[in-house]
């Protein structure tokens, strides 16, 4: 490679990758280096300790290399060489790796837990969305979808299952990830420490729309969360155009509590308009997005299992959009 070609390669290929890596670290809503939970804080501490250890080791190795190349050439005894190998090649790596191992093992959670969590949330992963159900003290479930609400300072236990393929449940700001496997139930606990809005994702490739399977995570103050959950548990009065919602076939797949729509194939749409996004974090909730989604869902989300409603009259689609935006 000639010098000009090498410079061009560095500018147009390597530089953008380096810049993108640095800029990604500046985004706080999906970064373990901006922890808002106990597990994420532990992982961030481990990262910074490992990074510091790496820098120290690199500096020592580079120092020895520079000394070996540029230092004065002096004859060394066999005893000096033996000590150098013993200290630099055996003792130093062993002590350093042992210290890092001990530090890392101390961060492992206690897998045998007899205490009850403050909140239990049932998460069912499907291609390509999340079914969410909050367990109340009496065992009843409050169903919703594609958005997660948690109380700060309280332990939430997630009951994770999948209906189709392997997914992975991950909220980087709150902690690590857990695989969601068909035919298996995994339990995963997180304890948010800061109020805010974060982003959860599927971290396991699960099909063409894997990258479009996200969910907002809203961490409330405890009193605010209780108020939100009480409102979410309540049904809604039957809205205008509900008959069209049923006759168009929407009720066969979607439930709206408080009405005769009880479908369980797709996401629960009760209080749909109170969410931040639709289609698992893919689109904002507004009239334009809903119109486009109803006409051709697969345009926004390849391999989605929802049929399009382009055959409906424009007036009927407008009525459906108004109905959905009224589900608050």
E strands, 79-226, are 119-126, 129-135, 141-145, 148-151, 156-162, 167-170, 177-180, 186-190, 196-202, 214-220
Give span(s): CATH 2.60.40.420, the chain.
119-233, 242-325
37 against 19, higher pLDDT:
37
Q: At what angle do helices 314-325 and 287-295 cross, to 10 degrees?
A: 130
Does position 11 have pLDDT exceeding 60, yes or no? no
Nearest 5°: CA angle at 266, between 262 and 272? 80
What per-residue confidence (pLDDT) applies to 102? 87
- Residue 282 reports pLDDT greater than 80: yes
Q: Which two tokens stand for residue 177?
A: 């990830």
CATH fold of 119-233? Immunoglobulin-like (2.60.40)
**pLDDT(266) > 80:** yes
Q: Is 108 exposed, middle or buried (0-12, 13-18, 19+ CB in 10 A)?
A: exposed
pLDDT cut 70: percent of the chain above it = 89
Percentage of the chain exceeding pLDDT 90: 64
What is the value of pTM for the model shown? 0.82
pLDDT score of 28: 73
CATH 3.50.50.60 fits 242-325, yes or no: no
- Of 59-73, 170-184, 198-212, 239-253, which gets the smallest average pLDDT? 59-73
Helix (H) or strand (E) run with residue 277 in it: strand 277-278
CA neighbor of 266 nearest in space, from 235, 215, 306, 298 = 306
Q: What is the pLDDT of residue 21?
A: 53
Whether the per-residue pLDDT at 60 is higher than 80: the answer is: yes
Burial class (CB in 10 A: 0-12, 13-18, 19+), 44: middle
Q: Average pLDDT for residues 261-269, to the nearest whole number?
A: 94
Structure tokens at 319: 């009525």
Two tokens at 218? Answer: 């809203």
Q: Report the alpha-carbon angle 211-216-219, nearest 5.
A: 150
pLDDT by residue (tens digit) across 188-236?
Answer: 999 999 999 999 999 999 999 999 999 999 999 999 999 999 999 998 8
């Amino acid at each position: 490679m000639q010098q000009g070609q090498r410079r061009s390669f560095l500018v147009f290929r390597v530089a953008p990758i380096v810049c993108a890596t640095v800029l990604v670290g500046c985004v706080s809503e999906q970064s373990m280096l901006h922890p808002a939970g106990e597990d994420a804080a532990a992982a961030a501490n481990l990262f910074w300790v490992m990074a510091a250890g790496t820098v120290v080791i690199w500096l020592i190795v580079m120092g020895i290399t520079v000394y070996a190349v540029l230092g004065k050439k002096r004859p060394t005894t066999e005893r000096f060489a033996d000590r150098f190998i013993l200290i630099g090649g055996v003792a130093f790596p062993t002590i350093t790796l042992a210290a890092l191992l001990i530090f890392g093992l101390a961060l492992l959670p206690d897998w045998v837990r007899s205490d009850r969590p403050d909140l239990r949330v049932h998460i069912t992963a499907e291609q390509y969305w999340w079914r969410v159900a909050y367990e109340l003290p009496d065992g009843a479930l409050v169903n919703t979808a594609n958005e997660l609400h948690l109380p700060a300072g309280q332990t939430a236990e997630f009951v994770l299952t999948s209906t189709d393929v392997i997914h992975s449940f991950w909220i980087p700001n709150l902690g690590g990830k857990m695989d969601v496997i068909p035919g298996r139930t995994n339990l995963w606990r997180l304890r948010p420490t800061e109020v805010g809005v974060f982003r959860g994702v599927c971290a396991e490739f699960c099909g063409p729309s894997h990258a479009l399977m996200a969910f907002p995570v809203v961490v409330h103050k405890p009193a605010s969360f209780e108020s939100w959950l009480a409102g979410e548990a309540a049904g809604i009065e039957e809205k205008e155009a509900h008959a069209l919602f049923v006759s168009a076939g929407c009720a066969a797949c979607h439930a709206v509590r408080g009405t005769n729509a009880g479908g369980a194939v797709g996401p629960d749409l009760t209080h749909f308009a109170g969410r931040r996004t639709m289609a698992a974090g893919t689109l904002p909730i507004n009239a334009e997005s809903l119109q486009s989604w109803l006409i051709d869902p697969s345009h926004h989300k390849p391999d989605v299992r929802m049929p399009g409603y382009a055959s409906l009259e424009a007036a009927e689609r407008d009525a459906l959009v108004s109905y959905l935006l009224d589900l608050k």
